[in-house]
């Protein structure tokens, strides 16, 4: 194995457990004889472009342990659409610092950038090992059973829906329609997770709407009124990317573009709340968890924490085995007794592509998820991660 330095970057939206992956890579790199120094790129692409690296090999044991219990991207992240010149500059910066091993923690857009870096290094004949390391609360990465970060976001949202049910059921004659909006872009994995509440309270009915299935405003208005008449209240979970029969975003008139040129989704629940109040005799309100659903370490999944750590370790081990231009992938071995193994997938097969919720897992008539989704998702939210407290509050630490 070639000797040189190791560089780690975090990209895209943070998660509650992304720093466990960072921790896993660092711990393995510290044990490797061929790694001279370990660096982190500050604020993702920004650090890669401007050669802004922070030393990670000097972190104390306590500093590393705090990483495991802290949400948000400890190295920082940045959304930016790269150009060909940017990629050449990034590789040139790595050559100057003798970076020989590069680990890019991110989602499908990040895997696209990682593949560009891999291809540019090959083009200029620079010996650089590039490994993509998955993370995504959206859970939309292809060729991995699930993405670290999803389990904790799913647990937080399902817990939130249970809390809302308990509140709504305690109020007599003053309830209304409550809409909760989840992230997820074009994939409905997060909205679908809210159906897991039926495992503990089968009589708590939650209407689920995902982007993979055509959304009808007329059917929606009818459904929420029917549920309200039967239950005395109605809770509906709406994925931000729902689309109509023409594949148009429901609230398209209010949608703008984000930093990488994609529709900046979000805000569909205020739009639907107004439709309910304009077209029915009922009152409505919306709950918008926003970034809270990806940052709540206090309601995180221990399975997710452990897998985020392990995927980092496995990524480094795959690099030692000579893999490059690949993403570390989680493969489910057994659906009855939850077990996983870690494999390697070419970045080109993952880059910029989306994995959607299978439509056969959705009950369109009742706006519910079916049993196969529960079987898939329930193991991912198991266990509670311990968060160290200080003065009654989480004792988070940054690098």
Active-site residue list: 138
**Lookup: tokens for 86:** 């940017």
Distance (Å, rounded) from C-alpha 326 to C-alpha 163?
41
**Lookup: tokens for 6:** 């190791």
**Lookup: tokens for 120:** 């540019």
Helices 217-231 and 268-279 meet at what angle, rounded to 10?
A: 70
Helices 302-320 and 150-169 meet at what angle, rounded to 10?
A: 170
| SS3 category, 99 | strand
| SS3 category, 77 | coil
Distance (Å, rounded) from C-alpha 383 to C-alpha 20?
16
Check: CB of residue 207 under 8 Å from CB of residue 362.
no
In the block, which residue shows the tokens 């109605």? 234
Which residues neighbour 218 within 8 Å (Cβ) at sequence distance 6 or greater? none
- Strand residues in the chain grouped as ranges (E): 4-10, 35-41, 53-55, 99-106, 129-134, 177-182, 206-209, 234-239, 256-257, 263-264, 284-287, 326-334, 339-346, 362-363, 368-369, 389-390, 393-394
Classify residue 33 as exposed, middle or buried by CB count within 10 Å of its CB (0-12, 13-18, 19+). exposed
Residues in the chain: 399
- Determine which helix (DSSP H) or strand (DSSP E) holds 306, and give its type and residue range: helix 302-320
């Amino acid at each position: 194995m070639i000797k040189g330095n190791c560089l780690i970057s975090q990209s895209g939206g943070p998660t509650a457990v992304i720093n466990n992956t960072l921790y896993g890579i660092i711990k393995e790199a510290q044990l490797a004889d061929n790694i001279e120094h370990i660096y982190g790129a500050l604020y993702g692409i920004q650090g890669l472009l401007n050669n802004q690296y922070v030393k990670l090999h000097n972190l104390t044991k306590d500093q590393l342990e705090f990483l495991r219990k802290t949400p948000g991207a400890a190295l920082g992240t940045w959304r930016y659409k790269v150009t060909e010149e940017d990629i050449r500059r990034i590789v040139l910066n790595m050559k100057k610092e003798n970076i020989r091993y590069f680990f890019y923690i991110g989602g499908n857009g990040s895997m696209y950038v990682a593949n560009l870096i891999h291809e540019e290094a090959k083009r200029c004949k620079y010996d650089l090992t590039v490994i993509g390391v998955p993370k995504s609360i959206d859970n939309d990465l292809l060729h991995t059973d699930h993405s670290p970060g999803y389990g904790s976001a799913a647990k937080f949202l399902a817990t939130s829906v249970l809390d809302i049910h308990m509140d709504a059921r305690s109020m007599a004659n003053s309830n209304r329609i409550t809409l909760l909006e989840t992230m997820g872009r074009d994939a409905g994995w997060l909205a679908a997770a809210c159906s897991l509440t039926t495992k503990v309270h089968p009589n708590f009915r939650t209407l689920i709407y995902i982007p993979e299935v055509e959304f009808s405003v007329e059917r929606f208005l009818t459904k929420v009124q029917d549920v309200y008449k039967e239950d005395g209240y109605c809770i509906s979970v709406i994925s931000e990317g729902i689309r109509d029969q023409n594949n148009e975003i429901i609230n398209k008139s209010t949608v703008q573009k984000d930093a990488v040129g994609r529709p900046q989704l979000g805000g569909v629940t205020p739009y639907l709340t107004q439709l309910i109040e304009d077209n029915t005799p009922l009152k409505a309100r919306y709950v918008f968890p926003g970034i809270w659903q990806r940052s709540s370490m206090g309601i995180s999944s221990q399975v997710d924490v452990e897998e985020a750590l392990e995927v980092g370790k496995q990524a480094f081990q795959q690099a030692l085995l000579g893999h490059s231009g690949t993403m570390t992938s989680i493969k489910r071995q057994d659906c009855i007794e939850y077990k996983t193994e870690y494999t390697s997938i070419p970045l080109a097969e993952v880059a910029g592509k989306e994995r959607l919720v299978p439509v056969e897992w959705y009950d369109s008539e009742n706006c519910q998820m079916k049993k196969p989704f529960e079987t898939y998702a329930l193991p991912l939210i198991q266990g509670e991660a311990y968060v160290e407290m200080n003065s009654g509050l989480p004792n988070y630490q940054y690098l």
